[in-house]
Amino acid sequence: MNSGKTLFAQLMDHLPWTTFTRIVKKYHGDRYVKSFSCAEQFRTLAFAQLTYRESLRDIQVCLEVQGSKLYHMGFREKVKRSTLADANELRDWRIYAEFAQVLIKTARPLYASDKLDVDLEEAVYALDSTTIDLCLSLFSWAPFRTAKGAVKLHTLLDLRGHIPSFIHISDGKMHDVNVLDLLIIEAGALYLMDRAYLDLARLYAIHLAGAFFFTRAKSNTVLRRQYSAPVDRLTGLICDQVVVFKGYKSRKDYPVQLRRVKFKDPETGNTLVFLTNNFVLPAAKVCELYRQRWNVEVFFKWIKQHLRIKKFYGVSENAVKTQLWIAVSTYLLIAIVKKRLGLDYSLHTMLQILSLTQFEKTPLNQAFQKQNNTNQGVDLRKQLILFEF
């Protein structure tokens, strides 16, 4: 039986609130707070993500309309625009960043058995970043170009389930390759990266950790061939070689052999040169595997289209990072609910349904039941005739 909770409250029940409370205490988030706790702030911004609210006033008005239901959604009193703005400015964003990491650890095992598009048993990750443009005059703490501000969302995406296993938010000036210093490399895992991450010392560190990288060579990469394996040129493969770096500094940074696979895409005519420290996978599978790196680009496109991460409710660094981390947590929450309820819906469809049903008191699993759109049992002769010919 439905206990009378709104869909929003039922959705929030899937979050580990005991852990959230522990994190809040760690950062003293609710110290001297008499009303509108960190939990209420999280619920408010999660509600804004789920219902596509565009501003603080938009959030306030939407919640005021449903004032009689706020208590059952987890709010002790009405949400005021100024109170929410102050919370975004002052509550430590690390609370929500650490809570997002907890949700990542919860979500990843749920998708561990999902199949990859490539037949592999190993863990496969795609690493990339996306830039979120900001107005430099308002967001002066996030320099990017001379007259432009930005933040970068660096993401290591687990291709089983498209769940981010690592996220780092930086200003726009941080180079992508620096994020390799922040990763904890998983032995035996496969890492797909574009040319921005071609740093030989860092790639050698991945090699020493027992993991495998797959990246592309730059135009000025100088290599010496030591061995060439036969390839079937009808498949688009040009060569499969064992190579070493020629330059003194390059050999010092990466002193061992690596593999070069050259491939000409029959569809576009582009020639691609892949570098990897994996000598086991067939050359054709190396090319097929690298194609999967595009999934991280799809992930960035998805969150920019379906989450509120391009317009911000505050201009300070704390407010922006708080909103971004709660947006990530909302994505993870929907992914967790999808697996726990065994739903055969895309995340986009789930968000569309939830955006219109937050205040309803339907059981959560029933809200996602597929509607029968057939005309079974309907006598079409009783339908009104609009036009006669």
- Domains of the chain (ranges; CATH) run 7-95+319-367 (no CATH), 194-292 (3.30.1370)
Instruction: Give first-to-last CA distance, the chain, whole Å.
Output: 51
Residue 384's pLDDT is 47
Q: What global pTM score does this model have?
A: 0.88
pLDDT score of 3? 55
Q: For residue 23, what are the CA distances in angstroms to 17, 44, 285, 310?
A: 10, 18, 43, 27
What is the rounded CA–CA span in Å between residue 88 and residue 82? 10
CB atoms within 10 A of CB 185: 17
- Quick one: pLDDT at residue 133? 93
Query: What is the C-alpha to C-alpha distance for residues 88 and 314, in angstroms, rounded to an integer?
Result: 7
Q: 134 and 142 in contact (C-beta within 8 Å)?
A: yes
Letter string b/e over residues 115-151, b meaning 16 or more CB atoms within 10 A of that residue's CB: ebeeeeeebbbbbbbbebebebeebeebebeeeebbb
What is the pLDDT tens value at each position of the chain, 389 positions in all?
A: 445 788 899 999 999 999 999 999 999 999 988 889 999 999 999 999 999 999 999 999 999 888 888 887 888 888 999 999 999 999 999 999 999 999 999 999 999 888 888 888 899 999 999 999 999 999 999 999 888 999 999 999 999 888 999 999 999 999 999 999 999 999 999 999 999 999 999 999 999 999 999 999 998 899 999 999 998 888 889 999 999 999 899 999 999 999 999 999 888 888 999 999 999 999 999 999 999 999 999 999 999 988 889 889 999 999 999 999 999 999 999 999 999 999 888 888 888 888 888 888 888 888 887 544 444 445 545 544 444 43
C-alpha torsion angle, residues 245, 247, 248, 253 (rounded to 10)? -50
With contact defined as beta carbons under 8 Å apart, do 78 and 63 qualify? yes
